Amino acid sequence: MVSQVDAGNIVAVKKFKVFKTDNVASILSRTHDHLLSLFYDVVSAIISGEKLPTATEKWTRKPFSRKELNNLARLSTDMTKDEIVKRIRATTFGAWKPTIEIHGFVFELKESK
């Protein structure tokens, strides 16, 4: 383990498809399923006396900071509809919602039923 987030060796990777209908919650749910499966694979290997595996994949960029994620969740009137839809899909999860600021007032997305 190293002290920096997402900087050490990658032990194992299990890829899955992301669908156009996916959102943060559905991707997170599938991620947890695959993480559990990877956990069993890695722990089984360790119990069997095998060396901890190392994947060939490498980190390709530094992780997003909270400030960068907050900026991603800020919408503006000069964005295209497609860009707004993408940002809503990428940043709406639980208590986190995209926002737009107009004349100093910050408005938060309210999901329609």
Residue where a domain terminates, one of 61, 86, 103: 61
**81/36 same-domain check:** no
**Is this prediction's pTM over 0.85?**
no
Show the 3-state SS of 43-80: HHHHHCCCCCCCCCCCCCCCCCCHHHHHHHCEECCCCC
- Domain total of the chain: 2
Cα distance between residue 32 and residue 51, in whole Å? 24
pLDDT digits (tens, 9 = 90+) for 42-60: 999 999 999 888 888 888 8
Report whether 84 contacts 73 (CB < 8 A): no
Residue where a domain terminates, one of 61, 84, 102: 61
Say what the pLDDT of residue 62 is.
83
Domain assignment of residue 94, given as a range: 64-113
CA-to-CA dists, residue 48 to 54, 55, 91, angstroms: 16, 19, 41
**20/37 same-domain check:** yes
